[in-house]
Chain A
Amino acid sequence: NAGVMQNPRHLVRRRGQEARLRCSPMKGHSHVYWYRQLPEEGLKFMVYLQKENIIDESGMPKERFSAEFPKEGPSILRIQQVVRGDSAAYFCASSRGDREKLFFGSGTQLSVL
């Protein structure tokens, strides 16, 4: 039973380019969360999605960032026109439902040059 799969593991972008981060939840999980982490810091909530719905995007910047979790396929976190401050590790987590264990992927390390 594969865990939460994130790709790519590392992503390098130049300022102004777009970054697309993918997350495939664990089998049977319909809830997906995205978190951002800077070195030596905690996990900052970005967005919570269920299939085809954004439940809570209160942690996501209003501009340049978007997320989706389509009926088929992985969840995508999209960052347009990246800036150096977007450099961070982005983690995805999935669960079967509310108040259920969150399982994390290995993260995508985004580096903006």
Chain B
Amino acid sequence: GESVGLHLPTLSVQEGDNSIINCAYSNSASDYFIWYKQESGKGPQFIIDIRSNMDKRQGQRVTVLLNKTVKHLSLQIAATQPGDSAVYFCASFVYNFNKFYFGSGTKLNVKP
């Protein structure tokens, strides 16, 4: 289900380092996953997605890893930049409820 009403955990990284943001999902009926980036005052922006028949997908500077055994999803950002500072949400599509559920989010703070 959804995690709501929780204050955001924060991950602080140095500019240039790699970032890893984690997400756990609970429903084994999840078969499609998306990572979103939300900057202050804006709507969530699509970053990368992955379907359950894959365990890894790469984009530009981002990689998503899916471990269905432990119901875990991660987003790796290479060479993190100040512009990457935002809140990151994972979303999972649960097919027996036919809708997306969102994680509670992680705030990424990139230090120059």
Hey, which bits of chain A sit against chain B, CB under 8 A?
Answer: 4, 6, 33, 35, 40-45, 48, 55-56, 91, 93, 98-99, 101-107
Assess whether B34 is in contact with A41, with CB atoms less than 8 Å apart.
no
Assess whether A44 is in contact with B93, with CB atoms less than 8 Å apart.
no
Assess whether A99 is in contact with B31, with CB atoms less than 8 Å apart.
yes
Assess whether B4 is in contact with A41, with CB atoms less than 8 Å apart.
yes
**9 A/B residue pairs, CB under 8 Å, sorted by A:** A4-B43, A33-B100, A42-B103, A45-B101, A98-B98, A99-B32, A102-B91, A104-B36, A105-B43
For the complex, count residues of B whose C-beta is within 8 A of A: 31
Assess whether A41 is in contact with B6, with CB atoms less than 8 Å apart.
yes
Residues of B within 8 A of A45 (CB): 2, 99-102
Nearest A residue to B46 via CB reads: A101
User: Which of these, B44, B45, B98, contacts A56 with CB under 8 Å?
Assistant: B98
Question: Distance (Å) between the CB of A24 and the closest chain B CB?
Answer: 14
The interface residues of chain A, by DSSP majority, are classed as strand
User: Counting CB contacts under 8 A, is B7 at the interface?
Assistant: yes
Q: How far is the CA of A13 from the CA of B51 in the complex (A)?
A: 42
Residues of B within 8 A of A107 (CB): 42-43
**Residue of B51, B93, B95 with most chain A CB atoms under a 10 A cut-off:** B93
Assess whether B34 is in contact with A91, with CB atoms less than 8 Å apart.
no
Pick the 4 closest A-B CB pairs, nearest first.
A104-B43, A42-B104, A43-B102, A99-B32
Assess whether A102 is in contact with B34, with CB atoms less than 8 Å apart.
yes
